[in-house]
Structure 1
Amino acid sequence: MALIGDFYIIPPDQWLFPTHGDVMDAKRRANASFEATGSYETAASQIEEFVRQWALARIIDVYKYPKEWLGERLIIEEPVKMGSTEKEADISIKNINRRTFLYVEAKRLSGSDDEFVEAERQLETYLASTHTATIGLVTNGMRTKVIRKKIDPNDFEYIVDLPSYGADVASRVQLVREAPDVGKKRSTGLRPISEDYERVLFDCHSTARDVDGLHADEALDEICKVLYAKIFDERQVTKQAVGTPFKFQTFGASNASEVASNIRTLYEEAKNTDVEIYSKRIPGYERSRGVFKQQVRLSDIALYRVVERLQEFSLIDSSEDIKGRAFQKILGSAIRAGMGQYFTPDPIVELAIEVIDPQADHLILDPFCGSGHFLTKALQHVVREQGEIMPPHALHEFKFFHLHGIEKSDRMVRIAMTDMMLHDDGHTNIRNQDALLSFENYPDITALNEVNEENAAQQNLNPAVFDVVLTNPPFGSIMRQEVMEMIGRFHLGHKKKSLPLEIIGLERSLQFLKPGGRLAIVLPEHLMKGKNAAFVREWLRNVAHVKAIFFFPEEAFTPFGAMVKTCLLILQKFKAGEVMQPDAPTFLCEVENLGYEATGKPKAGTEVPSAIEAFKQNVRWN
């Protein structure tokens, strides 16, 4: 039974908010009834304000919300915007940011069952339209229900009671920015994630999955949103004076629901700031990058527990290697649970990166980037090989402006962006688009091209701007009649009624590549050997040097849900006037051991390092 208990009459001269217009009007009517009958019994059954005043008293006396909150964080007649209309909630309890996290709807004591049901639906509407509010109570004094918004904002469940003030909030120490350590990378004063605490992100993921019953990839998506808000908060606070409190913490909140509401408010601030800043710099930013527009869908309890576990650690002060490994632990869990189609095994990515050897002055693209694995590995490669000799501004420029991705799934873009943010940065160049669309859809990519006065119009539409393309396009999808217009944009689609997506992906990858640029692409093996794909190989001879082909065992993608033999194709796009030389060699290599078994378990004797070394000894880039 809810703590609010049974209704009792509170005399009008003891009512809260006595100067509010609605309260004054109800008080006048109540006193008139008292003069006529000698009691408030009749008035109490007809005037809704009696029930609201009783509810307010119980919120303070039984649920222990501070009386000092009245008029500031505990208010009446709170406007609730619902589309083009606006209504007023009877009681609103606000978080520290003055955003509602709890609503109470009161109805008159003598109201019918239909009126009560209507009030319940009204309360659900308030909750559905308010990102920061998840719990509400509806009562007519005789009957009370408490409802909670579920993961779907239009789905609700009944719970036992409202959260009381102070319930379940254990943090008693406020987290504030401390003075930066001189000579050390520690700007927040929070604890960097060390090797001993690498599991902290995995623990957060497990909490989200277990508390809310989410699938592993759904939980990963929600953790990405939380990390996005956490990183934003740390960056904002480090711009402020020492002693500035972090918003990402449980301290000072009345209960788990207010903690969750605070984080939802912070997340909203982060995404609005992101769009405001980058829309001024990047054409079409909000349309192609605004993937964090979706709300945080974790329950209050799950979100509170994640914040409680993560709040003491700094993400921006932690080692990139440790953060990367910590994130890979939860990414690996989601992959094993069914996200393998978006993932390229680490040894294959390593092979591609080492063979292509991206440099700090290269523009790099993955047009089918999935979780962004190629991009983060390219970033690590450049930092490892050149980071110590690069000026800080050059390293910053590489991270922020040279790493680009395109991915159709908004969930995967959030994952890729989060991984890039944990690697300090580049996340703003991951686009939530279909890489096979016409080039008018990528104005920010074509704008990267160097333009001269003679052919400015042509170059502005030229997508061939990247020095390096690294990718693993989706396999197996057959592009049929309904996408003939799309196939018609490609030479390989000429006179074809259908075409596998990986073939179109190969051509699109080369379209994005500069003359002389380098491509590493994972493809089904039959494209390099099968008779039906001879037209693909013939086309390649006219557009690029086939520098190498690495063939992989059948188990290469088996742990990730694919049962097709694959290879890694290494190309260098022809420069103007170049043609294939009849005697041009192609390095062929069978990599029989990638370092793992078909089950995904480690396997001794990986041949990847020797394959890399053999390529470097036998192949030269033009």
Structure 2
Amino acid sequence: MRRSEAQLTLIKPAAVIVQQGKLLDYIDGVTQRNETPEEYVRQEIAKSLVREYGYEKAEISVEFTLRLGSKKPRADLVIFDEGDPHDQDRARVIIECKSQKIKSTDRKEGVGQLQSYMSACPNVAYGMWTNGVERFCYRRVDTNGKIAFEEIPDIPGKGRTEDEVERPRFDQLKAASSDALLFAFRRCHNYIAGNQGLQKPEAFWELLKIIFCKIHDERSSDEVEFYATSKERHGLNGRLKAKKRLDTLFNEVKAEYPTIFRENEAIELNPEVLAYIVSQLQMYSLLESDIDVKGRAYEEIVGSNLRGDRGEFFTPRNICQMTVAMLDPGERQVILDPACGTGGFLITAMNYVIEKIRSAEISKWGDVERAETAIRQRVQRFAQNYIVGMDLNPNLVKASKMNMVMNNDGAGGLFQANSLKAPATWDDDLRARQIMGQVDLIFTNPPFGSKIPIDEPSILEAYDLGHIWSYDADTDRWTRTNAVQKSQPPEILFIERCVKFLKPGTGRCAIVLPDGILGSPGLGYVREWILQNTRVLASIDLHPDTFQPHVSVQTSVLVLERKTDEEIAVETAAGRMNDYEVFMAVANHIGHDKRGNVTYVRDKKGNEIVEEIEETLKEYEEGKPVYKKQRTRRKVIDDNTLQIAQAFRTWLSEQD
């Protein structure tokens, strides 16, 4: 089992130039192949075969030529036993990869094509057909000279038996790499929608229940209970057995998370669909999978089902990473997102701190195994006591709790609440946190827009920015009046509420805001209030495509530090605010275009540049974690957000 750690070290400057419209073959590291949808699927599966299934690159042949009578088709990926020559008679596993538009039932390129290839190779035992959404795995059975194909949950990893695939042990579960988990979540979501007669949002919530069961099984069971064998999948009695195991797990999940699931809630999938979903997820360890891998997979499924009409658009992970790196949270700092959505900022901040804890304990003990207990205790204390999230949308809160559970668990600090209302209206558990004026760091992207105005007088009158302000052209100053606005866009009130959450003098906030607040003449009073009550540490102008392909909006990140009452009083008495420096930057390279496609650094001729990196992988040997280093090549993503964060940290240390 392998897990890619967060730390990646550049070994040497870019050594390979990839021509425009090409990508570097993962297996041989040299061949440049046409960048097509089918090739994308093949490269992702190739990475999975090496990183998850444990096969060596030397054992895998790409576009291997077969002999089928007078035809010579090329199989996408063929696996051979270690040391065997790459001959057709020695092939052991065949994998066919297609683009999403090719269906498994296609007469020419569907699963029938894979089975014809398997039939032509006398020693092939297993095969896989996938288009990135659908995936079918088969075992070849030879009986009395007749060849048949039995569908199985997965092909075995290197050195693994078929029984271990049918019901794996915990130490045999694979950490998902690259987009493998994204493929699996997408496949499961589509299968539920297509075979259970549910709309996609309903299918999402059923998938959520099953993911909870999977994580609970990894955390709480002595033996794997989250599994469905191929025999169970193909018989009514077997499907019912699998369903009974999942029902038992889900009852335990409901008892553990009563704020997420109702007591009478059940998994509403028929046994056949449920057994299929379990078979597609049972080989992975969700807890061991890389944070970014889980984040990509979960965000796509959540985003396609929960993107609402209340100004909600979820913050890209690189922007979350930039802001968290800028404010550098520690494990004794209270971290809040008062509009947490699906938890992107909080999970990024939590895992940033967890990596600090892990590094400190490993350095202290000098041994990963000895450090594991101490790491677990510190992480649990931090996640339970220092992470707080709020959101008005109960579905988003449920989704964010799921995200937290999947990413080290700070779910106990997430609450369904209106952040803008008086704390007296919040539930008892949230009020008990006593967060007003006590928060160290805030990371947030509040809902925007005049289409979702706050017009409740009881809310507006509680805010300076809920009042009407008058402008004096002679002094170029704004003054608050006693009159209350009829309505305000939520982001304006969120600015004031965020500042009031912070500890005076030390509390800092990174908030995504529409550019109108920074430049619109009519909103000068908002800027006046910000300057009166905070020290502006940084203003980061985000690229117009930052939130594409979902929404087009020009935004910036403001980093603010709350002033003390004494500082405000001194400046008020002096009739002027103190001058200070502000860090400013433009995030003009954000790693994707307006369609959401990843963008890479190119040379002057437009060719993409590849770098060689060393990554730390977590493996298990005899049930114990072992960290190993591996060199690999990857394209350089055209993203300068972390460079901005590093520059800010340097600037801030000079200011301090």
Query: Which TM bucket (shorter chain)?
Result: 0.5 to 0.7
> Alpha-carbon deviation of 1:556?
1.8
* Deviation per residue, 1:155-208 (Å, 9 max, x gap): xxxxxxxxxxxxx99899698896xxxxxxxxx345133438544334323322
Of 538-547 and 549-558, deviating more is 549-558
Residue 200 of structure 1 corresponds to which residue in structure 2?
A: 184
1:420 partner SS: helix
1:438 is matched by which residue type in structure 2? Answer: A
Measure how far apart 1:274 and its partner are: 3.0
> Which residue does 1:437 correspond to in 2?
421
Structure 1 334/518 Cα, relative in aligned 2: closer, same or farther at 3 Å? Answer: same
Among candidates 582, 588, 599, match of residue 586 of structure 1: 582
1:273 paired residue among 256, 268, 281: 256
> Aligned AA for 1:272?
A
Question: For residues 355 and 293 of structure 1, what CA distance do their matches in structure 2 show?
Answer: 44
Which structure's relative contact order is higher, taking Cα pairs within 8 Å and 6+ residues apart? 2
SS of match in other structure, 2:557 = strand
**Aligned mates of 1:214, 1:597 — CA distance in 2:** 33
Q: How does 1:252-401 map to 2 (within 5 A)?
A: 254-256=237-239, 259-260=242-243, 262-275=245-258, 286=259, 295-316=266-287, 318-321=288-291, 324-335=292-303, 339=307, 341-390=312-361, 391-392=374-375, 393-401=377-385
Would you say the 8 A contact 2:213–2:250 is kept in 1? Answer: yes
Greater fraction of residues in strand: 2
Judging by fraction of residues, say which structure has more helix.
Answer: 1
Report deviation, 1:401.
2.3
Q: Deviations over 1:332-378 (max 9, x none)?
A: 25535772834101222122111111111111111111111111111
> What is the alpha-carbon distance in structure 2 between the residues aligned to residue 291 and residue 619 of structure 1?
47
Alignment partner, residue 501 of structure 1: 490
Whether the 8 Å CA contact 1:200–1:326 is kept in 2: the answer is no
Which one-letter code corresponds to 2:647 in the other structure?
A: A
Alignment of 1:436-455 (within 5 A): 436-440=420-424, 441-449=426-434
- 1:490 and 2:463 matched: yes
Q: Pick closer, same or farther for the CA change 1:609–1:217 going to 2, 3 Å.
A: same
Aligned partners of 1:499, 1:327: CA distance in 2, in Å? 33
- Identity over aligned pairs, percent: 24
The separation in 2 between residues aligned to 1:525 and 1:358, in whole angstroms, is: 26
User: Is this contact kept in 1: 2:185–2:301, CA < 8 A?
Assistant: no
Q: Give CA deviations for 1:426-445 in whole Å, capped at 9, x if unaligned.
A: 12211122222321214334
Residue 214 and residue 475 in structure 1: after superposition, are their counterparts in 2 closer, same or farther (change >3 A)?
Answer: farther
Once the two structures are superposed, what CA deviation does each residue of 1:37-94 show, in whole Å capped at 9, x if it has no partner? xxxxxxxxxxxxxxxxxxxxxxxxxxxxxxxxxxxxxxxxxxxxxxxxxxxxxxxxxx
Total equivalences in the alignment: 413
User: Contact conserved, 2:302 with 2:399, CA < 8 A, in 1?
Assistant: no
Residue identity opposite 2:517 in structure 1:
L
Q: CA deviation at 1:218?
A: 4.1
CA contact (8 A) 1:520 1:571 kept: yes
Report how far residue 548 of structure 1 moved: 0.8
Match of 2:205 among 209, 221, 226: 221
Distance 2:397 2:263 in 1: 9
Give the 3 Å change call, closer, same or farther, for CA 298–226 of structure 1 in structure 2.
same
The letter for the 2-side match of 1:335 is G
Instruction: Give the superposition deviation at 1:228.
Output: 1.0
Query: 1:471 is matched with which residue: 439, 444, 460?
Result: 444
Larger displacement relative to structure 2 (401-410 or 358-367)? 401-410
Could you say what secondary structure the match of 2:513 adopts?
strand
Which AA in structure 2 matches 1:520?
A: A
Any idea what SS the aligned residue of 2:307 has?
helix
Instruction: Give the equivalent residue in structure 1 for 2:651.
Output: 618
> What residue in structure 2 maps to residue 596 of structure 1?
592
1:546–1:204 CA distance, 2 compared to 1 (3 A): same
2:567 is paired with a residue of what secondary structure?
coil
Partner AA of 2:438 in structure 1 = V
In structure 2, what is the Cα distance between the partners aligned to 1:228 and 1:481?
35
> Which amino acid in structure 1 is aligned with residue 381 of structure 2?
E
Q: Identify unmatched segments of 5+ residues in structure 1.
A: 1-167, 179-187, 239-243, 276-285, 450-461
Does the 8 A contact of 1:362 with 1:402 survive in 2? yes
Match of 2:520 among 527, 530, 544: 530
C-alpha distance in 2 between matches for 1:491 and 1:411: 31
- The answer to whether the 8 Å contact 1:469/1:509 transfers is yes
Q: 1:413–1:593: structure 2 CA closer, same or farther, 3 Å change rule?
A: same
Q: Distance in 2 between matches of 1:226 and 1:610?
A: 39
Q: How many angstroms apart in 1 are the aligned matches of 2:226 and 2:464?
A: 53
Q: Deviations over 1:107-127 (max 9, x none)?
A: xxxxxxxxxxxxxxxxxxxxx
Structure 1 residue 488: deviation in Å?
2.2
Work out the CA distance in 2 between the residues paired with 1:301 and 1:487: 53
> Structure 1 residues 533 and 295 mapped into 2: Cα distance closer, same or farther (>3 Å)?
farther
Instruction: Write the distance in 2 (CA, Å) between the matches of 1:436 and 1:299.
Output: 42
Cα deviation, residue 249, structure 1 = 4.4
Q: Distance in 1 between matches of 2:460 and 2:525?
A: 15
Could you tell me whether the CA contact under 8 Å between 1:406 and 1:430 is conserved in 2? yes
Compared CA separation, residues 177 and 307, structure 1 to 2 (3 A): closer
Amino acid at match of 1:583: D
Asked if the contact 1:320/1:423 (under 8 Å) is kept, the reply is no
SS in 1 for 2:446: coil
Q: Deviation string for 1:503-544 (max 9, x for gaps)?
A: 112222222222221100101011011112111111112221
* CA deviation map 1:17-47 (0-9, x unaligned): xxxxxxxxxxxxxxxxxxxxxxxxxxxxxxx
Relative to structure 1, the CA distance from residue 496 to residue 346 in structure 2 (aligned partners, 3 Å threshold; closer, same or farther) is: same
- The residue identity in structure 2 corresponding to 1:231 is I
Larger radius of gyration: 1
Alignment of 1:550 with 2:540, yes or no, is yes
The residue type paired with residue 239 of structure 2 is: A
Contact 2:539 2:557 in 1 (8 A): yes
Counterpart mapping for 1:85-234 below 5 A: 188-195=170-177, 197-198=180-181, 199-212=183-196, 214=198, 216-234=200-218
SS of equivalent to 1:558: coil
Consecutive unaligned residues of structure 2, counting only runs of 5 or more, are 1-149, 154-161, 362-373, 468-483, 572-576, 601-637
SS at match of 1:611: helix
1:377-428 deviation per Cα after TM superposition (whole angstroms, max 9, x unaligned): 1122223344210442223211232222112223222321222112221122
Q: How high is the TM-score relative to the length of structure 1? A: 0.60
Contact 2:177/2:293 (<8 A) preserved: no
Checking the alignment, whether the CA contact within 8 Å between 1:480 and 1:497 is kept in structure 2 is no
Q: Distance in 1 between matches of 2:268 and 2:485?
A: 44
1:546 alignment partner, SS class: strand
For 1:545, the aligned partner's letter is R
Contact 2:175–2:290 (CA<8 Å) still a contact in 1? no
Give the secondary structure class of the aligned counterpart of 1:272. helix
CA distance 1:230–1:333, change in 2 (3 Å): closer
Contact 2:335 2:442 in 1 (8 A): yes
Quick one: which of 603, 606, 611 aligns to 2:639? Answer: 606
Deviations 1:236-293 (A, max 9, x none): 313xxxxx56265468771435634552453233112333xxxxxxxxxx4xx55797
